Every structure is written in structure tokens, then in C-alpha cells.
Chain A
Amino acid sequence: MEQTDTPPPDGAPLLRARNLVKRYQGRTVVDHISFTVQRGECFGLLGPNGAGKTTTLRMIVGLTPADGGELTLFGLPMHPEQRAARQRMGVVSQEDNLDTDLGVAENLRIYGRYFGLPGALIEERLERLLRFAQLSDRAGQAVGTLSGGMRRRLVLARSLVADPELVVLDEPTTGLDPQARHLIWQRLRTLRDDGVTLLLTTHYMDEAARLCDRLLVMDHGAILDLGTPRELIARHVEPEVVEITGQGDPPDPATLGNPDGRQERMGDTLYCYTRDAAPLMERLSRRPDLAVLMRPANLEDVFLKLTGRELRD
């Protein structure tokens, strides 16, 4: 598949993965993937559960040794003993690994020490980080008293304690309510505007569309496509979508007539992809028994087309 991955003229990429492989018990979880992340961009790994996103991320942060291929970060070969690269990155892991034996501010303070930062510098950054995480009034509280959104913001603030060039986030908003997600997104955009490179995994299309400059869609350990959200939509799906939901079974596509388009069924809904939805909508106006929604194609359509519609667990 054609992949647009041309580096911009300025300098070497911040991250380069070439033919990266990871196997667990003979099963290939990451299957020869290659991509680069440019300085200052927000790069997303998009894929269903079990696609190999988290394993890829673990290799990037050095928590998992690769079984093959090359991985360079900041021009350094990345592996679990590569301390110099980890000094320059922050990690927001999927599992919540805040130090529950410590308070909110202590979590930041102690984490800063792990990076070898002098105490005075940590104290100087502490207030700003707490404000960034909207936790200033909770500095002295125990981690256990925080809500899910607060905990995630604290993990994000913690990843920033050593002023990283790259922040790696594994499903940063999974499990959060809409308000909490929007706050995290807004914070991530602030970081990107400040020139911090972001690398995140997600299976939320709205998250990918809102945040990511470029997306890598992967499944079964392999890359399906790579590009900007707009490129991916243009490449894989027709620009307009009509969603039709009938009472009981969805209607038979043949009776609707969508000559230039393509239909897909998921659950009780029929998705009609087309270049021009007007004729179809015209015909559907005579079918008051059907619930009809017309919308522009989005990443979710790309995602479902590329990764299929069967259920993943």
C-alpha cells in the first residue's frame, strides 16, 4: 500500500522505526513495521484492541526489547538499557502507575528525582505542573482521593517533570468522561503548540482526528496505512455517508439504488458510501419508515474499512 512518509527537509526524524518485530511465544505481535516521527508533530497509532499498538509503544520507551529491526530515538539506538533516550522523554502509560504511597506533589517531586533533577529545579517546576494538571489545590492530598480524570492529569504532569522533547501516551483518555477527555486534549494541544512531540495510541477516532497530525493505522501487528487524517479519508472512503436504520432488519441495499456507491452493514444499520448523496436522499425521502442520517465521511469509516467490522476482544 502506498504510504506517505516523506520526511520534511529539516533534519533527521526524532524517531525512526525500521522493520520492527516483536514476537510472544511464536506469535508475531508487531510484524515488520516502519515509520518515522518528526519533531514537533503529534503522531497517532490507531488500531483495534490487540493490534500491537501498546507493544510498539513499549519498545519505543524501552520496556520491551525488540526481536528484530531498528529503532532509533533522538538518533540513539533504543533498547531497555538506553537511559539517555528516556531522559528526554515522558511516558503516560495505560495502566495507572502513580505512586499511591505518596501524595500528589510528592509524586511529581520523587519522579523528578528519578530523572536526576536537582531539588531546587523540581520545586521551581512543581507549581506550574500542578497548575497545568489543574491540581494546585490538591497538592498535599493522597493520590487515592483523586478522580480518574485527575489521576490521568497527574500522570501527564508527571511525564513532563523533566521537560521532555517527546511525550509518549498509551490511550491517554480511555475510561474518562467527556469533560475529563476534553481537558486532556486541550492540555495535549498546548504541549504540541509548545513544540513537544507527541506519540499516542488510541482507538478513539474523535481523539485521533482532533489531535493527530499524522496517523498510522495498524492491525494484527502490521501497518495498514499512514497519512494525515484528511489523506486517509480521501484515500479510503467516499466523501459522503448515508446511514440508514430500519425498524427491525436494515433495508435491502438493492431496493435503495446507490449506483456509484458502496454499502456496508453493521448491526441494524446500513452504511451507504457515495460521492453524491443527493439522489439517494431523494429516493429515501419516500421511505418514512427508515431513520436516515447523512454526514461527511470520517476517520471511523476509514478505520472500519481497513480493520473490518467484526468484534474485537
Chain B
Amino acid sequence: MPRFLPRPTLGFIQIVRRHFLVWRKTSAASLVGNLGEPLLYLTGMGYGLGRFVGDIGSLPYLVFVAAGILSASSMNTATFEALYGGFTRMTRQNTYHAMLATPLGVADVVLGEVVWAAVKSLFAGLAIFLVGTLLGAFPGPQAWLALPVVFLAGLVFGGIGMVVTAISPGYDFFLYYFTLVSTPMFLFCGVFYPVASLPEGVQTLVAALPLTHVVALIRPLGSGTPPEDVMVHLGALLLFALTAYPIAVLLIKRRIIV
């Protein structure tokens, strides 16, 4: 029996389409959340906290934090979809089993989940971008270039999320990931303040986390300054995405093809 790493086919697109169709049924509620939440965050943090913080570097705090919120949202959206959505489909709804009784394989199913997680990140990112642009939080002319980064971030965190889903005994297990991985990234990777303000040792640690590289690309793009070390950050994100995906495929396969 061949035991090679399974390779995906274009069939994964049908899985993304399936998720999109399901999402559309509840899209009204999703849109309220996608538009309402950034509006609250940007006004609350940007104007409220910004009054005390003032400018960070050359950026008004609203502009600074908007890029952070866009980055964090791309992480959270993809993570939630891969964890709660993915786990529900894998276990309670048996959706994966139904898919695997067709020509689709585990590699397609996981790729479909990861790409869908990234699409959802992009939807949420678009909403933030729209609200932020109206509030003047994305002044740069090339600010829309942040959106492909949002998608890439979605692939990264969707992939990592599927790895977590693959090893989760139940929904409670996700709390480990949130407390030990997701929340630390949210608080230390430059979403609310520059990474440079952290002690040097911590900075090195933080540089190994994917969200740091997302913020490092999105902030300059969103605020209209040229991003630095583009290849390093892109390379790091690609590495995360291309490592997480095959691990997720192998783990999910080990879990359900038994």
C-alpha cells in the first residue's frame, strides 16, 4: 500500500465553494460582525486610546493600530474557522467522511479548509479595510496591497489551525492553543505597540512567530511607507504555510483514514 504524502487536486475548489455556499446563508449576520467589530475597535482603540498614546513613530495611533487590527483579524478569523468550523465538520457532522467517499482525498479536504479560512480572513480584512479607509486609518496609496498579505496570513493560520484541529480530542482543547499561542501573538507581535519596544531577547522570540511578519508587512503597506525586508517576511510566512499544510494533511489522514 502506498504511504506517500497525499497530493491535492483542483477538487479542493469544490470544497471552498461548498463552504462559501454555506457562509452565504448566514452572510447577513457575518457582515454585521465583520463591519461592526472593526468599527468598534478602530474608534474605541484608535480615538480612545490614541488620545493618550499620541503618535507612534510618524504614525497617528489610529493608523498604527488599524494595521495591527487588520493583521490580528486575519489571524483570528482563519484560526476560528479552522478550529471550530474544521473540527465540527470533521467530527460532529462527518462532512469529511462524506467528502472522502468521493474522488476527493484528505489533501483536498484540508486544502479546501485552509483556503476557505484564508478567504474568510480576506472577507473580514475587506470589511476592516473599508471601515478603516472611511476613518482615514489607511492613508497610503498602496494600502490595498495589504489585502494579499491578509490572504497569505489566512493560509498560514488556517494551516496551523488545521494542525490543532487534527490533534484535538474536543472543543476544550482549543483553549490551550488560544492561551498558549494565539493570545500571546495577539499581545506581543506588534499589533498594539512596536515590537522594538520589547526587551531584546523577547524580540528574537517574537520574530519566530508568524503574526510578527504579518504585522511587519501590513503596517507599512497600510500606512503608506515602504516595507522593509519584504522577502524575509514573505519567506517566513510562506515557510509557515508550506510547513503547516502537509503536517495537517498527515495528521488528519492519520486520524480519519484508519
Contacts and interface: CB of A to CB of B under 8 A. Distances in A.
A154 B98 CA distance: 13
A100 B93 contact: yes
A110 B20 CA distance: 11
Interface in B79-111: 93-95, 97-106
Contact of A63 (B1, B22, B103, B257): B257
A63 B17 contact: no
A100 B95 CA distance: 9
Interface in B1-38: 1-4, 6, 9, 11, 14-15, 17-18, 21-22, 25
B22 A91 contact: no
B258 interface: yes
A116 B97 CA distance: 17
Contacts, number: 83
B6 A81 contact: yes
Given A64-B257, A79-B2, A102-B22, A114 B97 contact: no
A86 interface: yes
B102 A95 contact: no
A87 B101 CA distance: 9
Contact of B21 (A63, A81, A102): A102
A240 interface: no
Interface residues of A, number: 33
A201 interface: no
B103 A97 contact: no
A40 interface: no
B101 A101 contact: no
B21 A111 contact: no
A95 B1 contact: no
Contacts of A63: 97, 100-101, 256-257
A83 interface: yes
B102 A86 contact: yes
Contacts of B9: 83
B22 A87 contact: no
A52 B103 CA distance: 24
A218 interface: no
Contact of B22 (A79, A81, A101): A101
Contacts of B97: 63, 93, 95, 97
Interface string A74-103: 000001110110110001010111111110
Contact of A106 (B2, B21, B100, B101): B21
Nearest to B104: A114
Contact of B103 (A64, A87, A106, A110): A87
A114 B105 contact: no
Nearest to B256: A63
A283 interface: no
Interface in B208-258: 253, 256-258
B95 A115 contact: no
A99 B92 CA distance: 11
A111 B1 contact: no
A254 to B, nearest CB: 51
A222 interface: no
A42 interface: no
Contacts of B103: 83-84, 86-87, 114-116
Given A24-B258, A162-B102, 18 more contacts: A63-B257, A64-B257, A65-B3, A65-B257, A66-B1, A79-B1, A80-B6, A81-B2, A81-B4, A87-B102, A97-B95, A97-B97, A99-B98, A101-B25, A106-B21, A114-B102, A114-B104, A115-B102
8 contacts: A61-B101, A63-B100, A80-B257, A97-B94, A98-B98, A101-B22, A113-B17, A114-B15
Interface of B: 1-4, 6, 9, 11, 14-15, 17-18, 21-22, 25, 93-95, 97-106, 253, 256-258
**A-B interface, 6 closest residue pairs, ranked by CB to CB distance from nearest:** A97-B94, A91-B101, A114-B102, A97-B98, A83-B103, A113-B14
